Amino acid sequence: MTLAGTPHALPREQTDLPAEVAATPAPALPIFAAPFALRVADPDGTDPELLAEWMARPHLVESWEQDWDVERRRADFQTQLAGTYSRPCILSLDFAVLGEPELGVRDIAYIELYRAAKDEIGRLYDAAPGDIGFHIATADTRVIGKGIMSAWISTMAAAVFAANPECRRMLGDPDHRNRAICRSFDKIGWHLVGEFDVRPTRRIALYATPRTPDDLPIPRA
């Protein structure tokens, strides 16, 4: 039985897929230069406790709506890692870059990398099997509003493309009301594909950055 008592525990994951899409492996983890580092979340370590605490913070409760207990978070990690749809990751930062070397290297954000063609956004454009989307939850408020996360996002696409040669484009799908992340996408030159109602209660702003200009996604009618 899954978390919700349904056939699969990841509600955005699509299961009725063409064979080519279904056979696509999970995204490979990109490598980042200092001061950033990215690692896969460990369901058997302290990461479920870390995420449970992060997602209970007011700014993430509102934007993510995943104020789950530790066991549900652990099960979510396990479900993601058992499949090929997405990978849960933890982003860390060396605070020396902010002039606070005494803080050392600290975990600052939760990142999910996922196959866009296996996700609900795959219905919004002509998704290629290798396309990769991402979600970000910045937990450490000390890095918010300082350009730190925009700088990371601006380097992320190149790192993802390097680690995933089959990836033609990267996608971001924040809530259309999340002006902070939308401004970040605009600032670093990501393309606004459009706004879409993916569910009765969810309207997103779909952003993309292509590997080449010819890979820019075109929304479906």
Q: Which residue numbers are catalytic? A: 173
Nearest-angstrom CA–CA distance, 21 and 40? 23
Q: Which residues touch 179 (CB under 8 Å, ≥6 apart)?
A: none
Q: Is 21 left (phi over 0), alpha (psi -120 to 50) or beta?
A: alpha
52 sits in which H/E element: helix 47-54
Q: What is the identity of the amino acid at 11?
A: P
Tell me how far apart the alpha carbons of residues 28 and 105 are, in angstroms, rounded to a whole number: 23
